[in-house]
Amino acid sequence: MFGWEFPPHITGGLGTACFGLTKGLLHQGVEVIFVVPKAYGDENQQAVNLVNASEVSIDIKNSIYEDYWDNISYIEVGSNLVPYMSPDEFYNIINKKEQTVSSTQESVLSKTYQFSGKYGQNLMEEVHRYALVASTIAFQNNFDVIHAHDWLTYPAGIAAKKISNKPLIIHVHATEFDRSGENVNQTVYDIERQGMEYADYIIAVSNLTRNIIIERYGISPEKVFTVHNAVEPSTRSDYYFEEKHVKEKIVTFLGRVTFQKGPDYFVEAAYKVLQKDSNVRFVMAGSGDMLNRMIRRVAQLRISNKFHFTGFLDAENVDRMFSMSDVYVMPSVSEPFGISPLEAMRSNVPVVISKQSGVSEVLKYALKIDFWDIDAMADAIYGLLHYDALSKMFVRYGKDEVDNMKWDNAAKSVKDLYIKALN
């Protein structure tokens, strides 16, 4: 299994989903070798054999790698990336088509390559070098199936398949259309499509994502299967009772502050709620390329005394934030799934989610609105804050609903697909 991050070193839902799925697969009797570009030594390995790609030695003179290296293109990325966020600009495509093994040895590769494990300016270079290391790992290990998560690891999955001739499953947690709308980056789109075409089967995290794969990438419906995400069982959330230190109700947005997540609609809805009730505070927890714009907009609306920006929160502080929240809002413009509403409901917080999210396919006890309908969003927030019977109903039945969404069930579906690929 190829991933790009693993708890506790995560930037979004991708690492969280990988962790939950691998635990579920362990319960299903599946042994997982999980490869990451960079391991830090403190990862939870109860369900996986974690392989640090930065420690894998490459024999660059071995002919098995030559074909893969011949046509690698590098793109220097002009902005930092996170897994679900596309770059603002791509610059300076440098073709390495004529690269020889000897010059490769001298100027491009060392015996081991130290990956940053980040989403920075050398991301595309690391994606391709990760694929080269994947060839070595596939050559050296015994396994039955290859499973690659998100576009960053599709080249690694393809390389491993070419070396081993084992079936490849790719897991689509988001597409370039989710990250960038219609302004897709062609290079990322091409990597995604190539991964989908090479894959024996494709796992989509929602029917919404499955339809995008079929319609926008031209993939046969017969090879695309939906497996909805789940949520880890309650742990800290059950006994976190953080003192709010404010008398007002608290409404929370938690996620990357990017186009995809709809933070601007949350700000506009907050303004409308505050016109009706000033006894509310709004929190935007997260960071991203739209953060400064959101701060400016809050100032323009003159609601900054009722609006808080926390920056990125780690897992413990996410639980603390949920324990103080009265309503959680996920107004995503395009959300392939969306684990955060499940985490909120697990923490006894009622949620408002956009209809344009995969998680809306599986949740009954959540208020669902169109992301662009800020009037409906404001009304939903106001209703949950002021009508106790409504809020208590969503808390009670929502908690039960989420507790029944187990990673073991998702893992069973994934294992069935593994078996199908092997037959």
Residues 264, 226 share a domain: no
Averaged pLDDT, 85-99: 33
Q: Quote the pTM value.
A: 0.81
* Sole residue written with tokens 């929190």: 283
pLDDT band, very low/low/confident/very high, at 272 (cuts 50, 70, 90): very high
**pLDDT, position 243:** 74
Question: Which tokens hold the place of 290?
Answer: 């739209």
**pLDDT, position 45:** 84
Element spanning 280, H or E: strand 280-285
Residues 187, 254 share a domain: no
**pLDDT, position 421:** 97
Over 60: is that where the pLDDT of 99 sits? no
More confident residue, 274 or 244: 274
Residues 201, 147 share a domain: yes
Averaged pLDDT, 329-338: 93
Least confident interval from 121-135, 235-249, 375-389: 235-249
**pLDDT, position 70:** 46
Residues 122-137 pLDDT 10s: 788 888 888 888 988 9
Residues 334, 190 share a domain: no
Q: What SS3 class is residue 182?
A: coil
Measured CA to CA, the distance from residue 34 to residue 37 in angstroms comes to: 10
Rg (CA), the chain: 22
Residue of 124, 222, 228 lying closest to 172 (CA atoms): 228
DSSP 77-122: ESS---TT---S-EEEEEE-TT--HHHIIIII--SS-----S-STT
Residues 71, 150 share a domain: yes
Over 80: is that where the pLDDT of 396 sits? yes
Element spanning 300, H or E: helix 291-300
DSSP 320-348: HHHHH-SEEEE--SSBS--SHHHHHHHTT
Over 50: is that where the pLDDT of 68 sits? no
Residues 184-229 pLDDT 10s: 889 999 999 999 999 999 999 999 999 999 999 999 999 999 999 9
Residues 398, 412 share a domain: no
Residues 162, 249 share a domain: no
- Residues with Cβ within 8 Å of 417's Cβ and at least 6 positions away in sequence, in order, are 169, 201, 203, 225, 227
**pLDDT, position 282:** 98
Are 128 and 72 spatial neighbours (Cβ–Cβ below 8 Å)? Answer: yes
Residues 289, 151 share a domain: no
Domain that holds residue 375: 236-403
- What is the DSSP secondary structure assignment for residue 6, as one 8-state letter? B
Residues 375, 346 share a domain: yes
> How crowded is the C-beta side of 300, counted as CA atoms within 13 Å?
9
Residues 307, 204 share a domain: no
Mean pLDDT, the chain, integer:
85
DSSP 32-43: -EEEES---S--
Over 60: is that where the pLDDT of 29 sits? yes
pLDDT band, very low/low/confident/very high, at 119 (cuts 50, 70, 90): low
